[in-house]
Amino acid sequence: MLRSFIVGLAAFALAGIFDSAAHAQTIKIAILGPMAFVQGENHWAGAEMARDEINKAGGVNVGGKPRQIELIRADTNEIQSVPDATNAVERVITRDRADFLIGGFRSEAVLAMQEVAMDHKKIFLGAGAAHSKLGQNVEDNYSRYKYWFRYTPTKDVDLARTLFAVMNSIAQQIRTELKTDTPKVALLAEKAVWTQALVGAAQKNLPAMKMEVVGLWQPSATATDVTAELSAIDRAGAHIVFTMLSGPVGIVVGRQMGERNMKAVAWGINVEGQKEEFWQAAAGKAQFVSTLDTYAEVEMTPRTVPFVRAFKERYKKMPTYTAATYDAIHMLKAVIEKENTLDAEKLVAAIEKIEHVGTGSIVTFDKRHDLVWAVGKTAGIAVQWQDGQKVPFWPPTVKGMKPFKLPAR
């Protein structure tokens, strides 16, 4: 009995030693995302591409020793359950011994995941959530939250700046083509926390930009029918439907606008409209729907087009913005090799100073560890669906942009 106990104990100790040795050979990066959904799929796809490229090229050089990247796939199920998301983070840190965390999508869940990561002093590169509070935490309590960086997207306030910049350009085109001085704008925002600031900003800023706000309609993010809303918008004579939609209602809006042959054009945030599957999901009716986006075959940076082509070849579809896990891993590699360490304290200081040329943006961080907003660098692009293709049209200074089109009147 005693002998069995001693043999068991020895085996356990040996397993621990081998596990530590194996652990020392790799850098473990947990990819956190809702893996049953498009956002999580893109988190994982971007990370896989970065891992394969880096490992094939010899890994990450830490103190003269190459280390391979090992990814941990963590399904946070955050769209359905915030507790599931925090459990996933806890698990990858304590059981899987992840060195770094990348991902997250739903702001409510990422705020909770941020707390767990900060408890364990793990560097967490956000790749999906836009809520300002995530960066505000860093400013309010730097010593606790300094391990958090938002790699993508820009925070919600900066998203609004991009939206108004594009809106101005569309309004100008309407003034010219439709001979109207004051384009009419209908606000169509799903009822959610993230749209509140945008709606307020639109109601305040659009009149100052010589546009008339004809009304605000707020369907549920999961509404399956917006016929009544679109009828009212049609009657109000809107030229632009300013969309603030992240849920499946974005597909319904695109489809039903097409079915009704509406003369107004949709511009804004339509998360479903960013996906490759949108045209099919809207049954080919979402002609001229436009949205803020991240990736297209345009030269946002020298790395954009090669990445997008490689992604399309491997996964047979376009990347969405959460595929920026690819850039986040490359940035980590750059700072680890520069600092020659995996020590979080030293890496945080290095990331704060970095200017990283990614595939969708050129990244620098402010004191909140949010992206520094700049058109042509981190503001993203605007795309419009034209005959089944997602056509990039803004910023016009970037090579490869095409004209924005209005529905025929």
Is residue 225 part of the contact set for another protein (CB under 8 A)?
yes
What is the size of the binding site for another protein (CB under 8 A)? 39
192: left (phi over 0), alpha (psi -120 to 50) or beta: beta
Q: Which is nearer to another protein, 167 or 230 (CB)?
A: 230
β pairing state of 290-293 and 381-386: antiparallel
Is residue 371 part of the contact set for another protein (CB under 8 A)?
no
**Choices 177-185, 281-289, 342-350, 373-381 (CB under 8 A): range interacting with another protein:** 281-289
Q: Which is nearer to another protein, 286 or 379 (CB)?
A: 286
Contact 308, 295 (CB under 8 A): yes
Q: How far is the CB of 48 from another protein (least distance, A)?
A: 17
Residue from 280, 306, 338, 374 that binds another protein (CB under 8 A)? 280
Residue from 191, 210, 309, 338 that binds another protein (CB under 8 A)? 191
Q: How far is the CB of 270 from another protein (least distance, A)?
A: 12
Q: Which is nearer to another protein, 59 or 273 (CB)?
A: 273
Run of H or E residues at 151: strand 148-152
Is residue 36 part of the contact set for another protein (CB under 8 A)?
yes
Contact 335, 354 (CB under 8 A): yes
User: Tokens 């988190």 appear where?
Assistant: 43
Q: Which is nearer to another protein, 245 or 351 (CB)?
A: 245
Q: Helices marked H in 248-324 — which ranges?
A: 249-259, 278-281, 304-315
Is residue 38 part of the contact set for another protein (CB under 8 A)?
yes
Residue from 20, 180, 231, 389 that binds another protein (CB under 8 A)? 231
Q: Which is nearer to another protein, 115 or 276 (CB)?
A: 276
Residue from 281, 300, 379, 391 that binds another protein (CB under 8 A)? 281
Q: Helices marked H in 124-155 — which ranges?
A: 133-140, 142-145
Is residue 318 part of the contact set for another protein (CB under 8 A)?
no
**Choices 94-102, 157-165, 238-246, 249-257 (CB under 8 A): range interacting with another protein:** 249-257
Q: Specify the DSSP class assigned to residue 359.
A: S
**Choices 52-60, 275-283, 325-333, 371-379 (CB under 8 A): range interacting with another protein:** 275-283
User: What's the one-letter identity of residue 266?
Assistant: A
Site mask for another protein (CB under 8 A), range 251-270, x = bound: xx--x---xxx---------
**C-alpha closest to that of 170 among 211, 134, 142, 130:** 211
Is residue 204 part of the contact set for another protein (CB under 8 A)?
no
Residue from 53, 212, 234, 366 that binds another protein (CB under 8 A)? 234
Q: Give the E-state strand segments of 235-355 in sequence order.
A: 240-245, 265-270, 290-293
Is residue 248 part of the contact set for another protein (CB under 8 A)?
yes
**Choices 22-30, 121-129, 145-153, 210-218 (CB under 8 A): range interacting with another protein:** 210-218
Is residue 83 part of the contact set for another protein (CB under 8 A)?
no
State how far the Cα of 42 lies from the Cα of 328, in Å rounded to an integer: 13
Residue from 23, 115, 182, 217 that binds another protein (CB under 8 A)? 217
Is residue 78 part of the contact set for another protein (CB under 8 A)?
no
**Choices 30-38, 111-119, 154-162, 291-299 (CB under 8 A): range interacting with another protein:** 30-38
From residue 185, alpha-carbon distances to 180, 243, 290 in Å are 13, 10, 15
Buried b (16+ CB within 10 A) or exposed e, 4-35: eeeeeeeeeeeeeeeeeeeeeebbebbbbbbb
Distant-in-sequence, close-in-space partners of 132: CB < 8 Å, separation ≥ 6: 155, 156, 157
User: What's the one-letter identity of residue 204?
Assistant: K
Name the β-bridge partners of 32: 74, 103
**C-alpha closest to that of 296 among 226, 401, 190:** 401
Q: Which residues bind another protein (CB under 8 A)?
A: 34, 36-38, 41, 79, 190-191, 215-220, 222-229, 231-232, 234, 248, 251-252, 255, 259-261, 272, 277, 280-284
